[in-house]
Amino acid sequence: MISVKNLSKKYGSIAAVNDISFEVEKGEIVGFLGPNGAGKSTTMKMLTGYLPPTSGAASIAGFDVFEKSIEARRRLGYLPENTPLYLDMRVNEYLRYRAHLKGVPSGKVAEAVGEAIGLCSLSDVEKKMIGALSKGYRQRVGLADALVHDPELLILDEPTIGLDPNQIRSVRELIKNLAQRRTVLISTHILPEVEIMCSRVIVIHKGKIRASDTAENLLKNHRAAGQLRIEAKTGTEAREAFGRMTGVKDVQAEQDGEYSIFTLRLDANADVSEEVFRLAADRKWNVRELVRKRATLEDVFVELTHSDI
Amino acid sequence: MRTLFHLTAREVKSFFYSPIAYVMLVIFLALNGVAFYYAVQTLTKVPADESVVFVTFFSPFFVWPFILIMPLLTMRVFADEFRMGTIESLTTAPVKDWQVVMAKFLGALVFYIVLFIPTYCYFFFYKWLTGIPAAFAAGPYWGSALLLLLAGMFFISMGCLASALNREQINAAAMSLVMTVLFIFLAALPDFFVGKNEEETKWLTHFIGYISFFEHLPTFCRGIIDTRPIVFYLSLTALFLFITHHVFQARKWKS
């Protein structure tokens, strides 16, 4: 659905996007992750034909976004960052206007707008001025606009930014519903969201792609794949004993009264919990807690993008 | 064509959504009313060769509002889209850049025509109210309308360019006002050479005569349809729209 080849965008001597290539297959929901200024929005702007690339090419459904821009644009629904809208129009009027612009046949505009309003739960504010709506509603108007012409591809630039947790949840549900028969490229900072929604994650940092895989695989291959936490009454030798185990990268210790609390950082796929348990049993340490913590996508994200910030 | 229609319709509507539009309509209507009133007064006091159409449009109550209204018509057309960021949703919809430019131009032109409708009704209201036909014939009436339409197109295309070049409405308004005033008062240029050798400045006077709005206005207000100004205004409008289109496209290449 999306094919990006060696795409670059330079502002003067600074490369906002530096020679990236990726593919998005039909039906995928791809999360586009990266810190602020990583090049996510720039890439999305190039895909939607808003910015021309400095070099490289991108196509949507086989149409080059630059050469065959109109054809490519017909097939995508785009929610720009910060959701720019005409504040002087009413919700239904705006959506009708957008439907017309996006080539929905005149006879089907009312139906398409009704459907978008229904999907985005906008029926109570349908006749309100957009300028009078809250941020959450505006975001939903933006989404309704993106999908009013029933595009094959949705490109959503931070659709949940600035929303409260309830709104985030409802927008997330909405996107999940939309994704059932569409391809979605979504950029966000909210990592649990990506884990829940996306079939694949592309991590971009400083204009380069750092990783592109399923969230599961990213976690598996993450260097600090897991942690083990033990709270026990131990002798002084415990720390060294843990450190000697294979797969343990390092051990941190702190004291809580009689108990010592150890945090073991583990290599990918390493699991030393049984070994730790046996050690504690042998030495008759009094264990009050033994917890295995899985790495989160946040850990992966930080590791992939933390370098030299 | 359908896209252009919907884009233009949105432009026209957006004029009527802002209170400024109504303020403009009322002030323009009132000042034209004053111009018409004085024209009728003048014609009843002293007999004149000119029609009431001619005298009305030569009143400062018409000319100044006419000049000042131009920047107000066009200042927001592009500047506002850039400022609010809606340019992004507009240009990522499947619309072509020339359609956007034409829609902005046509939208302002439609509002400009609406501004003039009451004024053109005055000439008939006079007869309706007093029972005496106003002193004008069809020639000056339609001639002046044609010229105001053509000149309006030209000034609006100039204003569109100013708006496309600026991110702030106020800058766009200032730029378009300067361009409009410069163009309109070109007619005064030969006056600076009064007393100089007339042979030397003859070419200038001649040239200004071709392009000055104040040379065209009396001609058309007498009902003479001169094709030269028609071609002049149409081609300049096309030129300015062409430049506007290029400036609008250039947004993509700025960094």
Task: Say if residue A263 is in the same domain as residue A275.
Answer: yes
Task: Tell me the pLDDT tens digit for each residue of A4-31.
Answer: 999 998 888 888 888 899 999 888 889 9
Highest mean pLDDT among A260-264, B45-49, B149-153: B149-153
Rg (C-alpha) for chain B, rounded Å, is: 20
Task: Say if residue A210 is in the same domain as residue A236.
Answer: no
pLDDT, mean over chain A? 85
pLDDT, mean over chain B? 88
Structural tokens at position A26: 């039909």
Task: Say if residue A93 is in the same domain as residue A208.
Answer: yes
Q: Which of B254, B237, B252 is nearest to B74 (CA)?
A: B237
Least-confidence region, from A12-26, B61-75, B183-197, B215-229: B183-197
Q: What average pLDDT does the segment A79-95 reach?
A: 92
Nearest CB neighbour to B93, from listed A12, A45, A98: A98
Q: Sheet harboring A200-205: ordered strands across?
A: A76-79, A153-157, A183-187, A29-33, A200-205, A208-213
Task: Tell me the pLDDT tens digit for each residue of B178-213.
Answer: 999 988 888 777 777 666 666 777 777 788 888 888
> What's the one-letter identity of residue A198?
C
Q: Does residue B26 carry a pLDDT above 80?
A: yes
Please report, for the domain that includes residue A253, its CATH number. Answer: 3.30.70.260
Beta carbons of B255 and A10 less than 8 Å apart: yes
- pLDDT confidence band for A79 (50 / 70 / 90): very high
Q: Does residue B220 carry a pLDDT above 80?
A: yes
Q: What pTM does this model have?
A: 0.85
Task: Say if residue A139 is in the same domain as residue A176.
Answer: yes
Q: Does residue A114 carry a pLDDT above 70?
A: yes
Task: Say if residue A6 is in the same domain as residue A143.
Answer: yes
Q: What is the reported pLDDT for B164?
A: 92
Q: Which residues of B touch A98 (CB under 8 A)?
A: 89, 93
Q: Does residue A276 carry a pLDDT above 50?
A: yes
Q: Can you tell me the distance from the alpha carbon of B138 to that of B160, in angstroms, rounded to the nearest whole number?
A: 32
Q: What is the reported pLDDT for A185?
A: 92
CB atoms within 10 A of CB A3: 17
Minimal C-alpha gap between B179 and chain A (Å) = 29
Residues A203, A192 contacting (CB under 8 angstroms) = no
- pLDDT confidence band for B149 (50 / 70 / 90): very high
Beta carbons of B96 and A145 less than 8 Å apart: no
Q: What average pLDDT does the segment B12-41 reach?
A: 89
Q: What is the reported pLDDT for A165?
A: 83
Chain A residue with CA closest to B254: the answer is A11
Q: Can you tell me the distance from the alpha carbon of A100 to that of B94, in angstroms, rounded to the nearest whole number?
A: 10
Q: Which of A17, A101, A157 to mutate to test the interface with B (most CBs of B within 10 A)?
A: A101
Q: Which residues of B touch A80 (CB under 8 A)?
A: 85, 88-89, 92
Q: What is the reported pLDDT for B195?
A: 66
Q: Which domain holds residue B127?
A: 2-253
Q: What is the reported pLDDT for A105?
A: 92
Please report, for the domain that includes residue A157, its CATH number. Answer: 3.40.50.300
Task: Say if residue A248 is in the same domain as residue A187.
Answer: no
Answer whether B178 touches A (CB < 8 Å). Answer: no
Chain B residue with CA closest to A77: the answer is B93
Q: Which residues of B touch A90 (CB under 8 A)?
A: none
Task: Say if residue A173 is in the same domain as residue A269.
Answer: no
Q: Does residue B230 carry a pLDDT above 90?
A: yes
CB atoms within 10 A of CB A76: 29
Task: Say if residue A111 is in the same domain as residue A168.
Answer: yes
Write down which residue in A204, A220, A236 finishes a domain: A220
Q: What is the reported pLDDT for A207?
A: 86
Task: Say if residue A232 is in the same domain as residue A154.
Answer: no
Which residue is listed with tokens 């139906």?
A111
Task: Tell me the pLDDT tens digit for each residue of B91-131.
Answer: 999 999 999 999 999 999 999 999 999 888 888 888 788 87
Based on the structure, what is the number of domains in chain B?
Answer: 1
Q: Can you tell me the distance from the alpha carbon of B231 to that of A122, in angstroms, rounded to the nearest whole number?
A: 51
Least-confidence region, from A184-193, B33-42, B147-156, B229-238: A184-193
Write down which residue in A220, A240, A269 finishes a domain: A220
Nearest CB neighbour to A84, from listed B14, B86, B94: B86
Q: Does residue A220 carry a pLDDT above 80?
A: no
Least-confidence region, from A127-141, A155-169, B10-24: A155-169
Q: What is the reported pLDDT for A260?
A: 87
Residues B69, B115 contacting (CB under 8 angstroms) = yes
Based on the structure, what is the number of domains in chain A?
Answer: 2
Task: Tell me the pLDDT tens digit for each residue of A154-199.
Answer: 999 988 877 788 878 887 888 888 878 889 999 887 777 787 788 8
Q: What is the reported pLDDT for A78?
A: 93
Q: Does residue A281 carry a pLDDT above 90?
A: no
Q: What is the reported pLDDT for B191?
A: 73
- Please indicate whether residue A103 or residue B192 has the higher confidence score (pLDDT): A103
The pLDDT > 70 percentage for chain A reads 97
Task: Say if residue A202 is in the same domain as residue A302.
Answer: no
Nearest CB neighbour to B91, from listed A50, A86, A102: A50
Q: What average pLDDT does the segment A200-216 reach?
A: 86
Write down which residue in A171, A198, A220 finishes a domain: A220
- pLDDT confidence band for A309 (50 / 70 / 90): very low
Q: What is the reported pLDDT for A210?
A: 84
- Please indicate whether residue B194 or residue B1 has the higher confidence score (pLDDT): B1
Task: Say if residue A178 is in the same domain as residue A295.
Answer: no
> Among the residues of chain A, which ranges form H helices?
40-47, 69-74, 91-101, 109-119, 135-147, 165-178, 191-197, 215-221, 238-244, 273-283, 297-306
Least-confidence region, from A24-28, A137-141, A227-231, A297-301: A297-301
Q: Which domain holds residue A231?
A: 224-306
Q: Which residues of A touch B93 (CB under 8 A)?
A: 73, 98, 101-102
Task: Say if residue A204 is in the same domain as residue A281.
Answer: no
